[in-house]
Amino acid sequence: MAVDRGRYTTLVEPERARGSAQKRKPPQRRLVVAMKARELGRKGIVVGDRVALVGDVSGRPDTLARVVRVEPRSSMLRRSADDTEDTDGIERPVVANADQLVIVTALADPPPRPRMIDRILVAAFDAEIDTLLCLTKSDLAPPDGLVALYEPLGVPHVVVHKGGSLEELRDHLTGHISVLVGHSGVGKSTLVNALVPAANRAVSQVNAVTGRGRHTSTSAVALELPEGGWIIDTPGVRSFGLAHVSVETVLAAFPDLIEGTVECPKGCTHLDEDCALEAWVAAGNADPARLESLRRLLSSREGTPDDTP
C-alpha cells in the first residue's frame, strides 16, 4: 500500500478458518510493515505489488515482517528517468497491477498541458492499462476544447469541479485498481480526499507567478474506496519520460492505421514526409484525425523533461 525508505506497508488478508473455527468471529485484515528480504536482491517492490511475507505478520507496533516473494504482475506503469542520452532510458516503475490510469488535469489554474497528457497516454498504452481523463476545475473554464482533442483517441472522460458531484467518477473507479497521475496543482489530492475522506492527503495552491503547484503528495499510496476498488495516488509530476517506449508500442494502440504502414520505408518514424500513412489516409482508408493523434503521441516521446503547455 505504501513504500517509505525501505519499509513496505502491506495489507494482509486473513486466512479462512477451518472446521469448527468457522463459527468464531472471522479475523480482520491488518496492516503489516515489512522489509525486503536479502534474497530478493535488487528486485524492486512498488505500490500495488502483491507479495508473500514471512516473520512477524501480526501487525503489532514495532514489529517487522520480510517480503520474500513478489507475485507475477498483471501490469506495470513505468516512466523513464529522463529522455536524454545521459540516462540511457533508465526505467522507473511507478505502480504495479493497476487496470486503469486516471489522468487528472485542470481546465484552468494551472492551464491544461496536452503534451503531458499525451506522454502519460503513451505510458498507459505501453503498460496496456485502460485510461480515463478526469478534467477538474470546470467552474473556471469549459472542457469542450480538450474533450475534442482526445475524442479521436477514444479516451473516456469525466468533468468535475470543487464541491460538485463525483458520482460519475465513482462509477468509473468502482471495482478497479486505478492509479491517479497528474502534474502538481490540478486538484488530484483534493479529489482523493473527497473520494476517501480518511485519506488526509495534503493539498496546495498554484503559484501565481509560475502557474505551477507544489509537490504535496511525496509518495504513492494505495487507498481503498468505500464503494469497492482501490485508487493509488501518486506524487505530482512535472515530466514523464518515455525513452523506454518504442514506436511500435505506440502504433499498436492504433490498429486502424497499422495496415497503412506496410509500405513505409524501413525505420520509418511515421513523422516524416516519406511515411506511407500520409497517402494511405488521404485515400480514405482511415480518419485523418486518427493519424494526427498518432503523430502527436509519437512526437510527445521526444519532449523535454519539463514540458510546457
Q: Is 162 marked as binding a ligand?
A: no
268 is in an annotated binding site: yes
82 annotated ligand-binding residue: no
User: How many whole angstroms separate alpha carbon 167 and alpha carbon 172?
Assistant: 9
188 annotated ligand-binding residue:
yes
Instruction: Give SS3 for 82.
Output: coil
225, 180 Cβ separation under 8 angstroms:
no
Report the distance separating Cα 125 and Cα 301, nearest Å. 13
Determine whether the annotation assigns residue 137 to a binding site: yes
CA–CA dist 50, 70 (Å, integer):
6
136 annotated binding-site participant: yes
Strands (E), the chain: 2-4, 7-12, 30-36, 51-55, 65-70, 76-80, 91-96, 100-106, 130-136, 157-159, 177-181, 221-224, 230-233
Q: Is 44 annotated as a binding residue?
A: no
Nearest to 237 by CA among 29, 78, 108, 19: 78
Q: Is 139 annotated as a binding residue?
A: yes
SS3 49: coil
> Annotated binding residue at 190?
yes
Annotated binding-site members: 136-139, 182-190, 264, 268, 270, 275
Annotated binding-site members for Zn(2+): 264, 268, 270, 275
Annotated binding-site members for GTP: 136-139, 182-190
